[in-house]
């Protein structure tokens, strides 16, 4: 087991809980293109369609031909580490608390020099490296040079580990354990080394064998909570809120109705109550204490994961009220992110396409297996992304949405008839 991944020592209760500091977060609007790609785990730079030059730093016009038609293109990140240095003094509070800090200049094969943090497995310059873009605690893209050949996870590096939300050694709340996805997720988190996993159970009289079977995992404790019950959410936050490092909101009510196939609003209200108001209740009770613990030693509060749906991007009319509730949750998650980001707590939104479960029974394959979705969530925590579109359908819808949202709206509209 790598050194950084050992179970952290218990906190000394006599010491003050430190407040988080963040790496410099100011970026120009055009530089946020790097962040947009990094949020999905990609390294992209601008390329000039006229002369082919790749740009760094991000720019309004081409550094070679002054073309204004620059477009973001995925990069493989291959390059040569030309030179390196180790910072031993810094004005920024974030770096002062973390010195010494190793950085270097990498000549990318694409033809530009970039400044990058160096993974501790990178050999002394000069050597071949691969540059990745990762989100830092401020939520901005940072370039990391890792060894080109060897596998090197951010969480293997004691300093760069902070850019991840690695579940190893952490205490995690999964808000609703009564779904195949949640159960697969709890098992995956357990395998990933979570120290403790609280699994929420609503309506305990409706027995769920999958949830019961989680009791065999030593880290799991099942807690009664129903996200539609404000008092229950408040009580749970009071009891365990100050221990939760990662909250994964799996509470999801999915009914497969369109506007015309369900009379009245009762079902839609239920969906909103779980999918939207449930998130709001959790956010009001858990977000303040997560923020307060964002720098609480090596097992600090790091992440909030929302299980949304690709239907949140554009309404899928056969599941129209569900789509609307997920769109509402997506919207609120953006506000939650704005709230948690200044503390360095990452909000990760997961947008799966149809899942291989009861409520997507009539959807055609490919459908996302619960275990695959769980693996994608754990991978997101181990990495440094904040938007996850797991599976082919989600990737396809996302691409169509980014390309032309009106076209996607029309295409999905046709599926209703």
Partner 1 sequence: MKAGKKRARISSASKKSAPKKSATRLPAILRNVAGADDVRFVDLTQTLAPDFPTIVLPPEMGPCRPFRMEEISRYDDRGPAWYWNNVSFGEHTGTHFDAPIHWISGRDRPNNSVDTVPIEHFIAPACVIDCSEEAKADADFLLTVRNIEAFEKRHGRIGAGSWVLMRTDWSKRSDPVAYQNLDDTGQHTPGPSADCVRFLVTERDVLGFGTETIGTDAGQAAHFTPPYPCHHYMHGAGKYGLQCLCNLDLLPPTGALIVAAPLKILQGSGSPLRVFAIVPQR
Stretch that binds partner 1, among 190-198, 227-235, 330-338, 348-356 (CB under 8 A): 227-235
Nearer to partner 1, 266 or 414 (CB): 266
Question: How many other C-beta atoms lie within 10 A of the C-beta of residue 238?
Answer: 11
Stretch that binds partner 1, among 35-43, 60-68, 203-211, 294-302 (CB under 8 A): 203-211
d(CA 350, CA 339) in angstroms, rounded, equals 18
Query: Under the criterion CB under 8 A, does residue 239 sit at the interface with partner 1?
Result: no
Stretch that binds partner 1, among 183-191, 224-232, 304-312, 391-399 (CB under 8 A): 224-232
Query: Under the criterion CB under 8 A, does residue 205 sit at the interface with partner 1?
Result: yes
Q: Rounded to the nearest 10 degrees, how much is the dihedral formed by the CA atoms of 154, 160, 164, 169?
A: 90
Inter-residue contact 305 to 379 (CB < 8 Å): no
Query: Under the criterion CB under 8 A, does residue 285 sit at the interface with partner 1?
Result: no
In the complex, the smallest distance separating the C-beta of residue 204 from partner 1, rounded to whole angstroms, is: 5
Please pick, from the candidates 17, 113, 230, 395, the single residue that binds partner 1 as defined by CB under 8 A.
Answer: 230
Please pick, from the candidates 123, 203, 212, 411, the single residue that binds partner 1 as defined by CB under 8 A.
Answer: 203
Please pick, from the candidates 19, 36, 82, 224, the single residue that binds partner 1 as defined by CB under 8 A.
Answer: 224
Please pick, from the candidates 64, 270, 339, 372, the single residue that binds partner 1 as defined by CB under 8 A.
Answer: 270
Nearer to partner 1, 243 or 255 (CB): 255
d(CA 369, CA 210) in angstroms, rounded, equals 15
Query: Under the criterion CB under 8 A, does residue 206 sit at the interface with partner 1?
Result: yes
Query: Under the criterion CB under 8 A, does residue 228 sit at the interface with partner 1?
Result: yes
Nearer to partner 1, 217 or 232 (CB): 232
Query: Under the criterion CB under 8 A, does residue 226 sit at the interface with partner 1?
Result: yes
Stretch that binds partner 1, among 27-35, 197-205, 301-309, 370-378 (CB under 8 A): 197-205
Stretch that binds partner 1, among 88-96, 226-234, 338-346, 371-379 (CB under 8 A): 226-234
Nearer to partner 1, 123 or 203 (CB): 203
Residues in CB range of 86: below 8 A, 6 or more apart? 100, 101, 102, 103
Kindly provide the b/e burial profile for residues 130-163, where b requires at least 16 CB atoms within 10 angstroms of the residue's own CB: bbbbbbbbbbbbbbbbbbbeeebbbbbbebbbbb
| Segment 250 to 269, residues that bind partner 1, using CB under 8 A | 255, 266-267
Inter-residue contact 393 to 365 (CB < 8 Å): no
Nearer to partner 1, 50 or 285 (CB): 285
Cis peptide before 100 (omega within 30 of 0): yes
Nearer to partner 1, 314 or 323 (CB): 323
Nearer to partner 1, 258 or 270 (CB): 270
Question: How many other C-beta atoms lie within 10 A of the C-beta of residue 26?
Answer: 7
Please pick, from the candidates 69, 207, 215, 410, the single residue that binds partner 1 as defined by CB under 8 A.
Answer: 207
In the complex, the smallest distance separating the C-beta of residue 266 from partner 1, rounded to whole angstroms, is: 6
Stretch that binds partner 1, among 104-112, 230-238, 296-304, 309-317 (CB under 8 A): 230-238
Nearer to partner 1, 228 or 325 (CB): 228
Stretch that binds partner 1, among 68-76, 149-157, 201-209, 288-296 (CB under 8 A): 201-209
Nearer to partner 1, 18 or 207 (CB): 207
Residue 193's beta-bridge partner residues? Answer: none
Query: Under the criterion CB under 8 A, does residue 10 sit at the interface with partner 1?
Result: no
Check the CA dihedral 78-33-376-3 and report its sign.
Answer: positive
In the complex, the smallest distance separating the C-beta of residue 320 from partner 1, rounded to whole angstroms, is: 16
Applying CB under 8 A, the residues found at the interface with partner 1 are: 203-207, 224, 226, 228-232, 255, 266-267, 270
């Amino acid at each position: 087991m790598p050194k950084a991944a050992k179970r952290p020592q218990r906190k000394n209760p006599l010491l003050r809980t430190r407040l988080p500091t963040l790496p410099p977060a100011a970026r120009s609007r055009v530089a946020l293109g790097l962040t947009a790609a990094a949020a999905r785990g990609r390294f992209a730079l601008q390329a000039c369609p006229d002369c082919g030059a790749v740009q760094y730093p991000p720019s309004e016009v081409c550094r070679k031909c002054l073309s204004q038609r620059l477009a973001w293109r995925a990069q493989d990140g291959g390059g040569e580490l030309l030179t390196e240095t180790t910072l031993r003094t810094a004005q920024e509070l974030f770096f002062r608390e973390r010195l010494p800090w190793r950085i270097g200049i990498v000549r990318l094969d694409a033809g530009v020099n970039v400044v990058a943090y160096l993974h501790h497995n990178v050999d002394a310059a000069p050597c071949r490296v691969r540059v990745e873009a990762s989100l830092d605690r401020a939520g901005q893209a940072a370039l990391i040079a890792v060894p080109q050949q060897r596998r090197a996870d951010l969480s293997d590096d004691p300093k760069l580990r902070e850019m991840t939300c690695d579940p190893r050694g952490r205490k995690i709340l999964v808000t609703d354990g009564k779904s195949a996805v949640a159960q697969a997720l709890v098992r995956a988190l357990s395998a990933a080394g979570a120290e403790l996993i609280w699994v929420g159970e609503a309506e305990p009289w409706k027995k769920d064998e999958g949830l019961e079977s989680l009791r065999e995992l030593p880290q799991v404790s099942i807690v009664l909570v129903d996200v539609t019950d404000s008092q229950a959410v408040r009580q749970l936050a009071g009891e365990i809120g100050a221990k939760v490092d990662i909250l994964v909101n799996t509470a999801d009510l999915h009914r497969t109705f369109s506007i015309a196939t369900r009379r009245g609003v009762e079902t839609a209200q239920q969906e909103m109550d779980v999918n939207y108001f449930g998130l709001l209740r959790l956010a009001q009770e858990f977000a303040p204490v997560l923020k307060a613990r964002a720098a609480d030693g090596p097992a600090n509060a790091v992440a909030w994961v929302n299980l949304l749906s690709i239907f949140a991007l554009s309404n899928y009319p056969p599941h129209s009220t569900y789509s609307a509730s997920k769109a509402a949750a997506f919207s609120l998650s953006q506000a939650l992110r704005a709230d948690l980001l200044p503390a360095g707590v990452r909000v990760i939104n997961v947008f799966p396409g149809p899942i291989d479960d009861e409520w997507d029974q009539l959807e055609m394959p490919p459908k996302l297996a619960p275990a695959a979705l769980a693996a994608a969530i754990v991978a997101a925590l181990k990495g440094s992304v904040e938007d996850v579109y797991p599976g082919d359908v989600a990737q396809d819808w996302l691409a169509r949405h980014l390309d032309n949202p009106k076209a996607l709206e029309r295409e999905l509209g046709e599926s209703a008839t």
